[in-house]
A and B are shown apart, each in its own frame.
Chain A
Amino acid sequence: MPGLSRYLAKRGSDRVILVVTVVTLQFVLLRVVPTYVMGIDPSRFLIDLDAPPDQKILLRKQFGLDEPIFPHQYIRYVLNLFRGEFGFSFLTRQPVVNEIMERLPNTVILSGSSILLDFIIGLSIGLYTATRRGKRVDSAIIQSSVFSYIMPIWLMGLILLTFLAWFPAVTWGIKLFPVSGTTSPFLPPDPFVRVLDYLWHLALPLMASVITGFGGRTYYFRNLAITEMEQDYVLTARAKGLSEKRIMRRHVLKGVAPPVVTSVALSVPGVVSGWIITETVFSWYGLGLYVFQAISSYNYPAVQAVLFIQAVITAISLFIADIAISYIDPRVRLR
């Protein structure tokens, strides 16, 4: 299939360009702008101001700061990021890679499960309401999608925290949901208890992201399904005497699949950039909270590493979606 491989190669190069663009933007913002626009020497963060001049020169040479900013410093910056050499945290003096690896699973679990749940709920409700067009259920879904559309995840999170975590805890002394964190302290080593505790902590952030995410998606999927149901082949299927259920499952779902996968893939950048807000609101021990703390404390190596990882994850998931679409949608393969 030369068409498919050419398609995937083009998409793959687009994704690589996306990552390189983000990295370049980072480099410009963190290295070029402070040095050339604002006149701040980046070595100020690392080298003692009172150090003797010859030592300063030596240290600058050691860090490669004496080289021209382009191409030498830029290429080394990009290569180091791609090789996973993120440097050391200014705060803890630990390798940033270790700190990231510690937090990455939490983040992936939270955002992955929220995207998955959004997708499942959005698709099932969207298809259901498409068959009930004009009925009360349909208008109720459209109404709630407006709320879901304007409600940002942090606001939903704060509302949920107030009503499901703080309110029962303060008024009745019941710990219905945790107000923050990923795990409770002092847990027994029983893995079952640990998993339950983790899920308990996961509940509120997940609820917030599903409530804010499903509305827009449901509305979009409903409209897609309605457009698809007006196609001639659905009429043919009906004329053949197929049941509505079978038409929805076998025909409409198949026709709707490519835009559905595209919309899920295109929601990844939003979810990835939303890490920082969601995780900070819920004190979720993940990369979002990490980058928030890093930004607040000017911990540059951590910031650039997390931003790079966000770009990489976005690019990878978009590319996976490309592959999926090329299998679902034969038009892509035959082009």
Chain B
Amino acid sequence: MTSQASRRLILARFGLHRRQTVQLLMRRKMWIFGIIVLVANVVVAVFAPVIATHDPIYETHVADDLARPIWLTALPGFEDLPRNLFMRIDSKDWSRKVQGNRASLLKLDSAASDLAVYYERSGLEGNGETELTLTCTFGYPYAPPRTFVALLPIGITVTKLVGVTYKFAMSITRNSDAKTFVVYDSYPPWRSSDLSRLGDNRITIHSRDPTMARRLGVSLLERNLAEMIFSSKTDYTVILTISILDEGITGDSGQVKITLSPVSFRIPGKAYGILGTNHEGADIFSQLVYGTRVSLIVGILSASIAVILGVIVGVIAGYKGGPVDQAFMFVSDTLIQTPTLPIIILVMLVFGRSIYMIISILALLSWMGLARQLRAWVLSLKERPFVEAVRAAGGSDLYIMFKVIAPQTVPLLTYSFVLSIPGAIMTEAGLSVLGFGDPLFPSWGKVLNEAYNFGGFASLAWWWIAPPMIALLLLALSIVFIGRTLEEVLNPRLRRR
């Protein structure tokens, strides 16, 4: 059978011609709105990895905590909001200066991205001090940030040299008033042992570090160091000073090797991404995009399972009648009257909080209404002459139930399937808001749960609260609109009114 012929057959089953259906549907604004929103959601869900800029679960601290949306900076009053300033300063970016009376012994190798500095001595050549200064200037055109972080991977090895000590420091100079802030200093004392802070073991300089505050002579309780240092819109210079003091006690030959991997200097912005960030600096837009997937999967899967269960129970109960009917209807009545949410939570408590568990338990507890409706339909359908004819022709009960009667109920199934999706979506979101959602799936409810528990509401972070709420309502509304229109078109009783 060609696809067109089968489509015509399906429409004929609804009692409609194709053109008539299309006309009926296109005339309804609700339907068009619903379809547009639903299609947009499906597209976003399918292309989530392409659209989202970050991983929704594992990527945190992409900007400052509670960063506002970036488009706010286009509005008056918000132009100065700090943007992300993530710098990777490698060997070519540093401008170097060597000072001191033993400067000739210092060799620099900056061919690779790692900067290697050797202080080599081949005998007793007298004492003295050598200082290497690395500077890097950058512009900072925004309002003061809240924090900054510098990661300093540096390794210093002293080979066969006695009486050679070193120190190093990092400072930031504000170029407008030439004020210098020493943010890290290994002195005192002069060190002589090896230092390996490479790889993941790098020196971390954070603006909330109390030792740094003590070095700068302020209290963290009173002042924010990042605001203090980056207080004006001007150029800033990062200065790295490494001093080597040779006391010249022995005449051994040996070397001091200094390796400086690319330094990462990060000033997280207070404006980031399409929808800003949450309490741990995760991108909300990405979470929202991936949340579409969860909502659609939960809604459609659990609604389909519920419809299948409802068809099986309703058709069998209606067709068979008698004790089977009574048993099925007793089960469905009992389930309708049971408070379901505690049961769902109990099941999740016992079996774990996986998304598939949520889907199946939602489906298991929501087939009853459809089953009752179907049973009533089947009760009248089974008395019709065509069923009688099939029975007379020797059709088995199973054949009559699922090949003859069930297809007649497709209109009812269609819109009750669509209309049971929003409930499932909202229940899943509610469970996630309570914190019973799947922790590994970034659902919209989870975003709201984090906002509720980690101060999104108390700080009125609208870019965090509003998007998941609006997304949930829009999706549910669009599906309800689609369902209602389908109901009107497919249900002859409603159409006539």
Contacts and interface: CB of A to CB of B under 8 A. Distances in A.
Nearest to A151: B473
B350 A33 contact: yes
Contact of A150 (B334, B350, B477): B477
Contact of B434 (A18, A272, A292, A318): A292
Contacts of B448: 158
A104 interface: no
A325 to B, nearest CB: 15
Nearest to A276: B341
Interface string A142-155: 00001101111011
Interface stretch (B114-122, B232-240, B392-400, B458-466): B458-466
B346 interface: yes
A155 B337 contact: no
Interface of A: 14, 17-18, 21-22, 25-26, 29-30, 33-34, 38, 146-147, 149-152, 154-155, 158-159, 161-162, 166-167, 170-171, 179, 266, 269-270, 272-274, 276-277, 280-281, 291-292, 295-296, 298, 303, 306-307, 310-311, 314-315, 318
Given A269-B336, A274-B341, A29 B434 contact: no
Nearest to B433: A154
Given A18-B334, A29-B346, A179-B457, 19 more contacts: A18-B337, A30-B350, A34-B350, A158-B452, A158-B457, A158-B465, A158-B469, A166-B458, A167-B460, A170-B458, A170-B459, A179-B458, A269-B337, A269-B340, A272-B339, A276-B341, A291-B342, A296-B435, A311-B338
Contacts of A296: 435
21 contacts: A22-B339, A30-B346, A146-B481, A150-B476, A151-B473, A155-B426, A158-B452, A162-B460, A166-B458, A170-B460, A269-B337, A269-B338, A270-B339, A273-B339, A277-B341, A295-B345, A295-B346, A295-B349, A306-B342, A307-B342, A310-B339
Contacts of A273: 339-342
Interface of B: 333-334, 336-343, 345-347, 349-351, 422, 426-427, 429-430, 433-436, 448, 452, 457-460, 465, 469, 472-473, 476-477, 480-481, 484
B346 A146 contact: no
Given A146-B480, A166-B458, A303 B473 contact: no
Contacts of A154: 430, 433
A155 B334 CA distance: 28
A162 B465 contact: yes
A48 B469 CA distance: 46
Which 8 pairs show the lowest CB-CB distances between chains A and B? A273-B339, A273-B341, A150-B476, A152-B426, A272-B339, A310-B339, A307-B342, A269-B339
Interface centre among A21, A25, A276 (most CB of B within 10 A): A276
A138 to B, nearest CB: 14
Nearest to A166: B457
Nearest to A38: B350
A22 B350 CA distance: 16
A233 to B, nearest CB: 22
A298 B465 CA distance: 30
B38 to A, nearest CB: 14
Contacts of A33: 350-351
Given A29-B347, A277-B433, A311-B339, A150 B426 contact: yes
Contacts of A179: 457-458
Given A162-B465, A266-B336, A292-B434, A155 B346 contact: no
- Residue from A150, A314, A315 having most chain B Cβ neighbours under 10 A: A150
B435 to A, nearest CB: 7
A159 B469 contact: yes
A16 to B, nearest CB: 11
B332 to A, nearest CB: 12
Nearest to A157: B433
Contacts of A298: 349
Contact of B473 (A38, A155, A162): A155
Contacts of B457: 158, 161-162, 166, 179
A167 B435 CA distance: 24
B457 to A, nearest CB: 5
Nearest to B427: A152
A162 B339 CA distance: 28
B330 to A, nearest CB: 8
A226 B481 CA distance: 23
Given A158-B452, A161-B457, A171-B460, A26 B346 contact: yes
A167 B457 CA distance: 9
A33 B346 CA distance: 12
B477 A146 contact: yes
Contact of B460 (A34, A166, A292, A303): A166
Contacts of B339: 22, 269-270, 272-273, 307, 310-311, 314
Contacts of A161: 457
Question: Which of A25, A155, A269, A306 has most chain B Cβ within 10 Å?
Answer: A155
A277 to B, nearest CB: 5
